Amino acid sequence: MKIQNQSKSYENVIPLIAIVGPTAVGKSLLSMEISNHLNIEIINADSRQVYKGMEIGTASPTPNDQVRIPHHGYQILNPDQPYNLSDFLDFARSLIIEINERNNIPLLIGGTGQYIWALLDGWTVPKVPPDNEFRAEAEALVVKDGPGKLLLNLEKIDPLTAKTIDRNNIRRVIRALEVYHTTGTPMSQLKRREQTPYKKTIIGVTTETREILHKKIDNRIEKMLDSGWLDEANHLLDKGYKFNLPSFSSMGYKELFAVLRNEIELGDAILKIQKLHHKLARMQYTWFKSDNSEISWITVNGNELVDTLDLLHFK
């Protein structure tokens, strides 16, 4: 069934599949296998795969995969261009309607939990433009005194956001403070939820043990380096991009930049990158909880496609 807009009277009429789970678990491979059975178009819900020139380090879909199946939202920006939750929501909501009008099924995939739940749960977020001067002052304060003062300020002005935000993600803490600085209203009061027109199927992909996942992560990091990740990082610097851009907060680039500056050995950098991705996986499990009744979980065991098609009621 097709719809022409997102009016509330069209509740639950657009089929929407979301594949969620930790990094390196196999979400992209599963989506490609699904495409052999359903007419899908893939929407990127990863905040770093939007950037050009970072295909290896962000584990973006291969060019062949993007030719085989329509992919949207990959490599659309230069690394020095901003991209945030509001941008993603505007992009994804319009795209879902377009895909539905082509009689295809939108499939949302990525590891950025905030983006995924914001879309699925109908969040509206404040469209507050960046205040570069405010950000620079906040970042300087972090360098000088650590993040403690910023966190205390956020707890005072917006305790709800302070309670739910990833406190280790200083950029998001600064963004919450920036919204209050610009509008005079806490971000938690500006956010609200609206009814969505989506008939959602959320499939979580996981492994039997955390050790298995860590091994998959470690193998992926090694393959990324074998594929030229260090050269990719060097090329980005050669093009004049600054190593402290927000886009390079994607885990691994700062460590490889340090290798290129002869500040750390490559072997040590690899171990650090692997541990950072283990930590990322733990954080992703806080977004996609095993006891969330909205998520149907499948385990990587060779039967992922069959289990997924069963969940989609596809025979």
**pLDDT digit string (tens) for the chain, length 315 residues:** 333 334 444 566 899 999 999 999 999 999 999 999 999 999 999 999 999 999 999 999 999 999 999 999 999 999 999 898 999 999 999 999 999 999 999 999 998 999 999 999 999 887 888 888 999 899 899 888 888 999 999 999 999 888 888 777 888 899 899 999 999 999 888 878 889 999 999 999 999 999 999 999 999 999 999 999 999 999 999 999 998 898 998 889 999 999 999 999 999 999 999 999 999 999 999 999 999 999 999 999 999 999 999 998 753
Residue spans per domain, the chain = 8-125+194-209+287-311, 132-190, 210-283
Instruction: Judge contact between 96 and 30, C-beta under 8 A.
Output: no
DSSP bridge partners of 14? 198
Do 132-190 and 210-283 have matching folds?
A: no
- Label residue 126 exposed, middle or buried (CB < 10 Å: 0-12, 13-18, 19+): middle
Question: Does residue 131 sit in helix, strand or coil?
Answer: coil
pTM (two decimals): 0.86
Beta-bridge mates of residue 17: 107, 201
CATH topology of domain 210-283: Helix Hairpins (1.10.287)
Instruction: Give the pair of three-digit tokens for residue 259.
Output: 């290798």
- The CATH number corresponding to 8-125+194-209+287-311 among 1.25.40.10, 3.40.640.10, 3.40.50.10860, 3.40.50.300 equals 3.40.50.300
| CATH number among 1.10.20.140, 1.10.10.10, 3.30.230.10, 1.10.3720.10, domain 132-190 | 1.10.20.140
CB 3 within 8 A of CB 97: yes
For residue 303, the SS3 value is coil
Question: Which contiguous run of DSSP H or E holds residue 267?
Answer: helix 266-287
| Count, residues in the chain | 315
